[in-house]
Amino acid sequence: MRIFATYSIKGGTGKTSTAVNLAYLASRAGDRTLLWDLDPQAAATFLFRIKPRVKGGAKALVNRATSAADAIKGTDFEGLDLLPADFTYRNLDLVFDRAKRSRERLGRLLAPLAGEYDTVVLDCPPSVSLVSENVLRAANTLVVPLIPTTLSLRTFDQLTEFVQRSEPPRPAVVAFFSMVDRRKRLHRDLVEGLPGRRTGILPVSVPAAAVVERMAVERAPVPVFAARSPLARSYESLWETISQGPPAVSECSLEG
């Protein structure tokens, strides 16, 4: 079971859109896939027309009164299941904090599902918190969407440094440029110049595209309703790149 997490400190960078599309593409490739919507805003959950509700809330889940397996719902797409968000996830930090081994809880909740799923995608809320620490320890790969700005690059460097300093197990950290607008000079410069010269930045970028808004209307990942769109294509190459394991990734992660 491989665990990916879309992660960034900031909101609105494209984490949820990325998580939903990557999870769908994993299932389309034949992986038994689970998407866990960790964000109390429940954007991914709503997208699949699933009620954002886990019996007993975050507390029951973390203390295993409700097993993760029982909370899972199938989406309309074969091979893709969802562990829904719940309103109470906004207290997830606190619930983790009160539990024993508070930084490993999330991984432990996923462990029993290893036989059922090949791929897990975690859609994280924006923050640096105990939830993110749990994600760091549970995930094999952090996938970080970067808006092409100098500031976001600096934030990414801080994140990789933070991961390198933390104790193992450490995830591989990869970033890609998100919502790229080729008409903008800065975007062009960063997207064309950086990947390859900076470890951890993938040679794949996701364009800013209005078709993304249609996900909320169609209630489906982009490749389902706009298979030929550049956006679908870019999610596909992103999935291809990260699903092949950690290539350009390893030097910035595991070995430090």
List contacts with ligand ADP (CB under 6 A). 11-17, 43, 179, 206, 208-209, 212-213, 231
Among 4, 7, 48, 156, binds other proteins (CB under 8 A): 48
Site pattern 35..54 for Mg ion (x: CB under 5 A): ----x---------------
Tokens linked to 72: 């899972």
Is residue 73 at the binding interface for other proteins, with CB under 8 A as the rule?
yes
Site pattern 3..42 for other proteins (x: CB under 8 A): ---------------------------x------------
Could you tell me how far CA 253 lies from the centroid of its own chain?
17
* Binding region for other proteins (CB under 8 A) out of 14-22, 68-76, 97-105, 155-163: 68-76
The binder of 169, among ligand ADP, Mg ion, other proteins, none, by C-beta within 5 to 8 A per type, is none
- DSSP letter for each residue of 135-148: HHHH-SEEEEEE-S
In the complex with ligand ADP, which residue's Cβ is closer, 130 or 212?
212
Is residue 72 at the binding interface for other proteins, with CB under 8 A as the rule?
yes
Which residue's beta carbon is nearest to the bound Mg ion? 16
Tokens linked to 73: 């719902």
The binder of 205, among ligand ADP, Mg ion, other proteins, none, by C-beta within 5 to 8 A per type, is none
In the complex with other proteins, which residue's Cβ is closer, 71 or 142?
71
CB of 82 to other proteins, least distance (A): 9
Among 6, 8, 13, 16, binds Mg ion (CB under 5 A): 16
The residues of the shown chain that bind other proteins, judged by CB under 8 A, are: 30, 48-51, 71-76, 81, 219
